[in-house]
Structure 1
Amino acid sequence: MSRRRSARPAPRPLRPAAERIVDKRDGQWFVRPITGATSVKTYTCPGCHAPITPATPHMVVWPVEKALLSADAIDERRHWHSACWTRRH
């Protein structure tokens, strides 16, 4: 019996972007930068309420501690323009 080899190698999993913890006046936040290459959807920035279009580098932000009624803190993640997040208190 002959064994078939796949013509294509298995795709490598994307390496998650490095996230860091940032202190703001209202608590600690996980911040993950998103490159334009991995951004494929349109989001609304909570800082300026303008759209973040696909292929635009931006930040994904969520609190370290979950809110009282949330199942998990990551459920509260939001996409911000990098400048809007930086300007935020």
Structure 2
Amino acid sequence: ELPNCINRELIDNAAVDFVLNLNTKNNRKKLTRVLFSVARTRLDLLPFYSRFAAILYPVLPDVCVELCQMLKQDFKYHVRKKDQINIES
């Protein structure tokens, strides 16, 4: 459902729905992986996923903290990697 949220109202409703109906530890881990693994062809979703994470942060800070750790690790991996051709992937 998340990739279909292409405006602010839909992403806001999805965030509220997640907190009220889907808020389990397993679902939070799945959500973190989904937010982290955005397809390169769908970069238009990044602002909406950022908004989604920002909405969840006051209620579920563990999702955002884990997402930030994953992003930092991926960034460090690409910076340290000798072959810089795939740095944008």
TM-score normalised by length of structure 1: 0.26
- Higher share in strand: 1
Greater helix percent: which structure? 2
Bigger radius of gyration among the two: 1
